[in-house]
Structure 1
Amino acid sequence: MTLITKPYLEQLSVWPRTGHHIMAQFDTDSILVYQAYRPSIARYAIENQRFGGDFSFSRMSWIKPNFLWMMYRSGWAAKEGQEYILAVRLRRTFFDEILEKAVASTFSASDCPTHEVWQTSLQSSEVRLQWDPDHDPLGNSVERRAVQLGLRGEMLRRYGTEALLGIEDITPFVREQRTHAADGFAQLVTPVEHIYQPSTEAAALAVGIDR
């Protein structure tokens, strides 16, 4: 497994407790996002290092750079249809492009002057933005917000076939850590995550991250 990990409690002590932050594992050129799928979709992606087969390019697909948000959503790979957890490595340039094109999923969360302007922007955009409460390993909400991004159309096609640098099956790691998450966190290990700052001001402004 290429995922870089560290004890959860060590990371918890330095993570921001409040605010809108993109928490992620990244390096100079790439960033990891997570998705959960049923076996047929996941196996195709792992074997072919791209999405296809039963994966639908005609529907919106959501990516999450925050590991614990993905664990909350998937029940640590225990929910039906989310039995496999994939770590997808993307080019940072592409991820920042996603951020720049994001439109908030609700009018109240957007910076649009009117509901009509927001609705037009939402309908034409290929990227949908949501800030949700982040969660601890037991699924409890925390004050800090976590981002998820919905992709469709050409943006989704590029994500699934061109912009990714690799797809890794981290399901065995997730299942192992699920037992530690339910046992007081002392042995729980999670991916190393830091606050991600986009390379462009436009990307940062589009998603409204705290800086």
Structure 2
Amino acid sequence: MTWIKPSFLWMMYRCGWGTKEGQEVVLAVEIDRSGLEWALAHAELSHYVRGVHPDQASWRRSLRTAPARVQWDPERDLDLNPLPYRSLQLGLSGEASRRYADEWTVSVRDVTPLAREVHAAVRAGERERAAALLPVETPLDLAAPRPVRDGSSAPGR
């Protein structure tokens, strides 16, 4: 499964500012909005939620067949501490993974130097400078879920 992590600071938490073994290179992958919308419309939540799913067995079946899964993890601050709100993590497999690689990817940039620069500013106590270096992230406004597959609303919605 390939994971999309739209939050820069959450990604820094995950890769330790690009210092964890095997995670020394940090890439920013820009994808087409229609691809993201497709993945979200065909995604299932990574965990069972009473009231969203009829029962756990239905959720498990949907999770097994969904080409994408939605997970919400705590957003992070400059010290990589959890904040009281969450950021999306979007897992892609099967058809979604193929579409991501072959159709949705617009650009790939190495942001390792940026990760190191922000981390150095944080370590030096230059919080305003570190914050000013962060990529601009804005909430994504999406339309209401629309029916997919068998005419039911999109899974996990």
- Please confirm whether the aligned pair reaches a TM-score higher than 0.5, indicating the same fold: yes
Distance 1:86 1:151, change over 3 A: same
CA contact (8 A) 1:134 1:141 kept: yes
Answer yes or no: is 1:85 the counterpart of 2:26: yes
Distance 1:101 1:173, change over 3 A: same
Answer yes or no: is 1:195 the counterpart of 2:139: yes
Query: How many angstroms apart in 1 are the aligned matches of 2:2 and 2:110?
Result: 18
List runs of 5+ in structure 1 lacking aligned partners. Answer: 1-59
List runs of 5+ in structure 2 lacking aligned partners. Answer: 147-153
- Aligned-pair identity in percent equals 39
DSSP 3-state at the match of 1:177: helix
1:116 counterpart residue number: 57
Answer yes or no: is 1:186 the counterpart of 2:137: no
Give TM-score, length-normalised by structure 1: 0.65
2:151 counterpart residue number: none
Count the aligned residue pairs. Answer: 147
Residue by residue over 1:111-153, the C-alpha shift from the partner in whole angstroms, topping out at 9 and shown as x without a partner, is 1110011000000001011011111121111101111011001
Distance 1:180 1:110, change over 3 A: farther
Query: How many angstroms apart in 2 are the aligned matches of 1:158 and 1:202?
Result: 20
How is 1:30-179 mapped onto 2 (pairs within 5 angstroms)?
60-108=1-49, 111-179=52-120
Distance 1:169 1:137, change over 3 A: same
Q: After TM superposition, where is structure 1 displaced by more than 3 Å over at least 4 residues in a row?
A: 205-208
Query: How many angstroms apart in 2 are the aligned matches of 1:64 and 1:109?
Result: 26
Give TM-score, length-normalised by structure 2: 0.87
CA contact (8 A) 2:73 2:86 kept: yes
CA contact (8 A) 2:52 2:156 kept: no
Taking only aligned residues, the RMSD between alpha carbons, in angstroms, comes to 1.8
Query: How many angstroms apart in 2 are the aligned matches of 1:74 and 1:119?
Result: 29
